[in-house]
Amino acid sequence: MDHFLYRDGALFAEDVAVADIAAEVGTPFYVYSTATLLRHFRLFDAALEGMDHLVCYAMKANSNQAVLRTLAQAGAGMDVVSGGEYQRARAAGVPGERIVFSGVGKTQAEIRTALEGGIRQFNVESEPEMAVLDATARALGKVAPITIRVNPDVDAKTHAKIATGKSENKFGIPIARAREVYRMAAAMPGLEVVGIDVHIGSQLTDLEPYALAYGKVAELTEALRADGHVIRRLDLGGGLGIPYERSNADPPLPSDYGALVKRTLGHLGCEIEIEPGRLIAGNAGLMVSEVIYVKSGEGRDFLILDGAMNDLIRPAMYDAWHDIIPVVEPAAGVERAPIDVVGPVCESGDTFARQRMMPPLLAGDLVAFRSAGAYGAVMSSEYNSRPLIPEVLVHGDQFAVIRRRPTFDEMINRDTIPEWL
């Protein structure tokens, strides 16, 4: 559910007409709904009620300061995967004790920043990382709280680029080696083992892989406790999928997921952390774009938009589907026809949808890409020297630009010309 609905034939974001935002900020742009962000956060929070827990928003999905502040004020922690994300979380007002640090390639500088600034835990992904973390903590006179990310060798049944829990993926330590690695960690004075971490992938549309993975984590918890480790916290990752295609999707609900967590892990008495990103931000955002031309090709028509793959790369990168809807509601019963929806970038990959059934549209009309709040703006670039598009946050009947469009001068002046030229 989200807060992007038609009212009297016009698409609204909460109580603001999307066309009014377009008139003020120009197209293309992203628009996010505060109510939808909070609703999704609270669904997860409620799903884990009765268990000691913290929902750590995976901020790589959408790391705008205003989005982070909105969620932090509602009580969210943050899952960060870089020093930059750590700094962004702190700048948005998130205290270190609510930040967990994930990622396979944490540098010594990033580790030091987090140790000095305060951190809830590091999710350690390899033995070399563990050694660096130990040495860095000791050099600072600190003890780093850690979980070890285990790779449970479970098929998440998702797109290959976002599956992370198979043994061939680069993530975590093979679960079969976990007891040995925990023994090594316990012998390092710069580390304090607090729990176990697992994250098997993104856009999971079936709970079965979670059930398999969490069953293995439950067994491992008991084994590690028998070995003498204090396992008091389980970080269960993120990855719950969202319905990108409304007409043809039925992904699991956070409440079903919460029930699964209780069933598989509830008896262990651990504090639970989860790291949802996409499910919190995905359906809380639209990308709005204007039709530049409608072009008739040989047996194929093209809807050419002012938005492109550099603004929203998911279709090109992951073959992702986004529902595309007109900002002016089509009349009931209007005839739809297949059309390729494309951007202006000079690559055939700059195609948002092929042979999509769309109502008739004309140059100047606005369309909205649904489910664009996660892995949209954060993955955008200035390819083709197209400025990063603005982000707008709606709150009831108010809206604010939360990242403005840069000017061409700002873009050009980021480059410097060496003195020999």
Ligand X SMILES: *Cc1c(COP(=O)(O)O)cnc(C)c1O
x-or-dash pattern for ligand X, window 44-83, by CB under 6 A? Answer: --------------x-xx-----------------x-x--
CB of 419 to ligand X, least distance (A): 42
Judged by CB under 6 A, the chain residues 81 through 100 that form the site for ligand X are 81
As a whole number of angstroms, the distance between CA 367 and CA 374 comes to 18
CB of 103 to ligand X, least distance (A): 7
3-state SS, 262-310, equals: HHHHHHHCCEEEECCCHHHHHHHEEEEEEEEEEEECCCCEEEEECCCCC
Taking CB under 6 A as the rule, does residue 276 contact ligand X?
yes
- Exactly one of 172, 209, 277, 373 binds ligand X (CB under 6 A); that residue is 277
Instruction: Decide if 56 is catalytic.
Output: no
As a whole number of angstroms, the distance between CA 126 and CA 41 comes to 30
DSSP code at position 386: P
- Exactly one of 2, 275, 340, 391 binds ligand X (CB under 6 A); that residue is 275
Bridge-based pairing state of the strands 77-80 and 324-326: unpaired
Residue whose structure tokens are 């479970």: 154
DSSP code at position 379: G
CA distances from 11 to 20, 237, 364, 394, 413 (A): 10, 34, 16, 13, 37
- Exactly one of 172, 239, 373, 376 binds ligand X (CB under 6 A); that residue is 239
Q: Which of 1, 226, 332, 346 is catalytic?
A: 346
Q: Quick one: which of 221, 252, 248, 250 has its CA closest to 234?
A: 221
Taking CB under 6 A as the rule, does residue 343 contact ligand X?
no
Taking CB under 6 A as the rule, does residue 40 contact ligand X?
no
Taking CB under 6 A as the rule, does residue 233 contact ligand X?
no
x-or-dash pattern for ligand X, window 188-207, by CB under 6 A? Answer: -----------x--xx----
Dihedral over Cα of 5, 381, 362, 365: its sign: positive
Q: Kindly tell me which of 79 and 129 has the beta carbon lying closer to ligand X.
A: 79
Residue 33 Cα to chain centre, angstroms:
16
CB of 196 to ligand X, least distance (A): 13
Q: Kindly tell me which of 165 and 307 has the beta carbon lying closer to ligand X.
A: 165
The residues that touch ligand X, with contacts defined as CB under 6 A, are: 58, 60-61, 79, 81, 102, 199, 202-203, 237-239, 275-279
Q: Which residues are catalytic?
A: 346
